[in-house]
Amino acid sequence: MSQTHKRILLGISGGIAAYKCAELVRRLKDQACEVRVVMTESAKQFITPLTMQAVSGEPVADSLLDPAAEAAMGHIELAKWADLVLVAPASSNIIAKMAAGIADDLLTTLLLATPAKVAIAPAMNQQMYAHPATQANLSTLANREVAIWGPGQGEQACGDVGKGRMLEPHELVALALGELTPEAPLLAGKTVTITAGPTREALDPVRYISNHSSGKMGYALAEAALALGAHVHLISGPVALTPPPDCDVHMVSSALDMHQAAMKLAPNSDVFIGCAAVADYRAADIAEQKIKKQGDEMTLTLVKNPDIIADVAALTAQRPYTVGFAAETQDVAQYAQGKLKNKGLDMICANDVSQAGIGFNANDNALTLFWDKEQQSLPLASKSELALTVVKAIAGKLN
């Protein structure tokens, strides 16, 4: 990115809304943005390159095969120069070309060549906007992480009334500045401790009691918290996963080991997320040697493990915001709300692990978040997506 983080390449395509681009450039420059303009041939029918050169203070690029332009700042260099490429107005034609990956003029070539964030401000007749082809193209671009700003709704130049108006210059300036100068990470300066994976409760030197937890959700939560600027402690049971970089990893085996690590780290944490599938019971006595097979039946005596999440929630000094997980096979809401209250949690994330394709070992999940007086349903999505939503929801309760 540039030193100023405010280099904007404005691509103007053919549309009556092109007349707004002179004001758009002026407003962007008022915000200390450097602006260069690229115009399609159709755009020049609505506003002249001379006008755009006057307001931007820079030559306007409009030809892919202009030797003079290539000698100055070639189109590939122009694509690299930008911190943000904004296409405004974005006609149905340019949107279709972008979706198809067509590069038959300077603007569409730059759109394929730039590593910068790309945003479009659709502007067209309301019927053209509503056409299934246009909607499919917009969906394709959204899936490629192109930002779609607008369109607005109202009376159009053709006399129609509906959705298709380009957003006003001041609205586009606000969106552009928000993209170029993002807010500080939501969890900057916060410490988050997360438990993940299963625990193993030894029976003898070779056997143990455990469960099917893969640790994927807990590790995804750690990645999400890191992405939002937190310092992360990950207390992990035995899993076949690589820990996210930049977090402090504490590998444990048993529930007692995990409890010890949690109670050490929780008082110095702003948030504690208990995502591990902790064994409720452990063997009363662990055999020193391998237990030999004797008879058709075997009786084990089990004793209750400490309740890690409840003990963290019960801290009276330096208590973190405490979040639990409830993996249930029936009456999910009832059991989750019961745990929320009985364990003294601030929030609980519940899922139905009896459903095929979600929960243990799966890459996807669906959750319902419960607080004391509210809840939020999160539909089926990848665990990475869900983790980011969950951590953002937690951050929203802290701020």
Q: Is residue 158 annotated as part of the catalytic site, yes or no?
A: yes
Q: Give the closest residue to 380 by CA, choosing from 361, 359, 366.
A: 366
Residue 129: CB partners within 8 Å, gap ≥ 6? 92, 122, 151, 162, 163, 164
How many CB atoms are closer than 10 A to CB 1?
13
Give the C-alpha separation, 9 to 259, whole Å.
54
Cα angle for residues 79, 81, 87 (degrees, 5° grid): 55
Query: Residue 303 burial (CB < 10 Å; 0-12/13-18/19+)?
Result: exposed
How many CB atoms are closer than 10 A to CB 3?
6
Active-site entry in 158, 247, 275, 349:
158
Residue 71: CB partners within 8 Å, gap ≥ 6? none
3-state SS record for 259-314: HHHHHHHHHHCCEEEECCECCCEEECCCCCCCCCCCCCCCCCCEEECCCHHHHHHC
User: What Cα–Cα distance (Å) separates residue 255 from each residue in 153, 268, 310, 342, 375?
Assistant: 57, 21, 14, 20, 29
Give the C-alpha separation, 306 to 241, whole Å.
26
- Structure tokens, 47: 């506003």
Give the C-alpha separation, 152 to 164, whole Å.
6
**Which residues are part of the catalytic machinery?**
158
